[in-house]
């Protein structure tokens, strides 16, 4: 079995697989949870009792993504992974959530007899419960993107979908010539949902982003329209967005009345290479 991609959060030595989880040569041990992830977030980096997305958000996102509504983005990420795939590729999904894109990228990396090793991290244990079940071939840890438990220059591809952009850490762990797929919402993403929630909705701003040590190779836009035909799907979409916590009662009530919703989805995938 290959070595773990993770480092010990206590002494920074490499971790190896044990029967119960992971361990380092200095005797630090990290048990695998029943769902299959390990906890590598030091207590002093945990800024709240339950950091990251909560149980309701994670189960809503898991249901919604499993419904295939964001399949066009998933397919584009698979296509891009094939383009950059190489034998024994090391992949990190930073802020991997429920592992929907993680699994697709891993499978694309493993096509044509190639092997790949993938580590997914998220600060929310609720998200990792789904991710570890979805992709048992990979390793998952509760950790922060701002303190990645990974070696310098050990990763060929970082996937970052709608999660915090920790550019310094991403630069540190990426190999020279490695790639970062950074997915953000494009201007019209979820426009009709926002129209239902707010009297004056705003488009997302499209920004040219520059990060030290990275060269922007390409931006791929994915656009589509989805039909939500069940109030549960509408509520799941709402619950998995940041609007869930900032929408006034009236907006939420207006949404609860909707029986169906046709909504645009639009994503920009920024493809960076480590220069
Ligand atoms: C919008 S979700 C996206 C999840 C997944 N990438 C997807 O696209 O389905 C953002 C994720 O980032 C996680 N997150 C927030 N802060 C984080 C941090 N500092 N380090 C790692 N993950 C973090 C949340 O727990 C959540 O799962
Ligand atoms: Zn250790």
**Are residues 120 and 102 in contact, defined by beta-carbon separation less than 8 angstroms?**
yes
Q: Under the phi-then-psi rule, with left for phi > 0, alpha for psi from -120 to 50, and beta for the rest, what region is 19? A: alpha
Residue among 57, 77, 95, 239 to mutate when testing ligand 1 (max atoms within 8 A of CB) = 95
Looking at residue 46, its pLDDT comes to 65
User: pLDDT at residue 82 above 90?
Assistant: yes
Residue in the block written with tokens 């009345």: 257
* 6 against 44, higher pLDDT: 6
Q: What is the pLDDT of residues 42-70, one digit of tens each?
A: 877 766 777 788 999 999 999 999 999 99
Residues near ligand 2 ion, CB 5 Å cutoff = 8, 10-11, 13, 24, 26, 28
What percent of the chain shows pLDDT beyond 70?
98
Ligand 1 site, CB within 6 A: 52-53, 61, 95-97, 100-101, 121-124, 127, 144-146, 161-164
Structure tokens at 173: 């762990």
User: pLDDT at residue 111 above 90?
Assistant: yes
- Ligand 2 centroid–CA 22 distance in Å is 10
Residue ranges of domains in the chain, CATH in brackets? 47-274 (3.40.50.150)
User: pLDDT at residue 168 above 90?
Assistant: yes
Q: How many CB atoms lie within 10 A of CB 275?
A: 10
Residue 209 pLDDT level (bands cut at 50, 70, 90): confident
Looking at residue 271, its pLDDT comes to 98
Q: Which of 64-68, 154-158, 196-200 has the least mean pLDDT?
A: 196-200
Q: Whose CA is nearest to atom 1 of ligand 1?
A: 162
Q: How many CB atoms lie within 10 A of CB 129?
A: 22
What percent of the chain shows pLDDT beyond 90?
89
Looking at residue 47, its pLDDT comes to 66
Q: Whole-model pTM above 0.85?
A: yes
Q: How many CB atoms lie within 10 A of CB 195?
A: 14
Using alpha carbons, select from 57, 12, 17 the residue that is nearest to residue 238. 57
Residue among 52, 63, 150, 182 to mutate when testing ligand 1 (max atoms within 8 A of CB) = 52
- Ligand 2 centroid–CA 150 distance in Å is 13
Round to whole Å and give the CA distance between 86 and 253: 50
Which residues touch 275 (CB under 8 Å, ≥6 apart)? 176, 213, 214, 215
User: Among all ligands shown, which has an atom nearest to the Cα of 26?
Assistant: 2
What is the chain's mean pLDDT, rounded?
95
Exposure on the CB side of residue 201, measured as CA atoms within 13 A: 16
User: pLDDT at residue 1 above 60?
Assistant: no
**Are residues 93 and 118 in contact, defined by beta-carbon separation less than 8 angstroms?**
yes
User: pLDDT at residue 245 above 90?
Assistant: no
Which residues touch 182 (CB under 8 Å, ≥6 apart)? 160, 165, 209, 269, 270, 271, 272
Q: What is the pLDDT of residues 217-227, one digit of tens each?
A: 999 999 999 99
- Ligand 2 centroid–CA 14 distance in Å is 8
Looking at residue 207, its pLDDT comes to 83
- Taking the CA atoms of 161, 92, 111 and 217 in sequence, report the sign of the dihedral they define: positive
Round to whole Å and give the CA distance between 202 and 243: 12
Residue among 94, 96, 97 to mutate when testing ligand 1 (max atoms within 8 A of CB) = 97
User: pLDDT at residue 25 above 90?
Assistant: yes
Looking at residue 42, its pLDDT comes to 80
Exposed e or buried b per residue across 72-98, where buried means at least 16 C-beta atoms within 10 angstroms of its C-beta? bbbebbbebbeebbeeebbbbbbbbbb
Mean pLDDT of 229-251: 93
**Are residues 126 and 26 in contact, defined by beta-carbon separation less than 8 angstroms?**
no
């Amino acid at each position: 079995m290959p070595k773990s991609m993770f480092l010990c959060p206590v002494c920074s030595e490499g971790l190896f697989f044990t029967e119960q989880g992971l361990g380092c040569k200095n005797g630090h041990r990290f048990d695998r949870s029943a769902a299959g992830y390990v906890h590598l977030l030091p207590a002093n980096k945990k800024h709240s009792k339950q950091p990251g997305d909560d149980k309701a958000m994670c189960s809503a996102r898991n249901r919604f993504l499993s419904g295939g509504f964001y399949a066009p983005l998933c397919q584009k990420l698979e296509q891009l992974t094939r383009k950059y795939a190489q034998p024994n590729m090391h992949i990190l999904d930073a802020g991997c959530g429920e592992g929907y894109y993680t699994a697709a990228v891993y499978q694309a990396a493993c096509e044509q007899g190639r092997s790949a090793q993938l580590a997914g991290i998220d600060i929310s244990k609720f998200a990792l419960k789904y991710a570890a079940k979805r992709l048992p071939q990979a390793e998952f840890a509760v950790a922060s993107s701002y303190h990645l438990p990974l070696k310098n220059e050990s990763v060929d591809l970082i996937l970052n979908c709608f999660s915090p952009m920790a550019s310094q850490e991403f630069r540190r762990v990426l190999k020279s010539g490695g790639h970062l797929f950074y997915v953000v919402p494009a201007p019209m993403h979820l426009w009709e949902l926002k129209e239902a929630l707010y009297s004056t909705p705003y488009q997302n701003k499209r920004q040219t982003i520059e990060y030290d040590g990275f060269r922007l190779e390409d931006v791929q836009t994915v656009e589509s329209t989805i039909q939500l035909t069940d109030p549960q799907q509408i509520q799941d979409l709402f619950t998995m967005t940041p609007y869930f916590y900032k929408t006034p009662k009236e907006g939420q009530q207006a949404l609860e009345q909707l029986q169906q919703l046709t909504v645009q989805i639009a994503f920009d995938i920024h493809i960076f290479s480590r220069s």
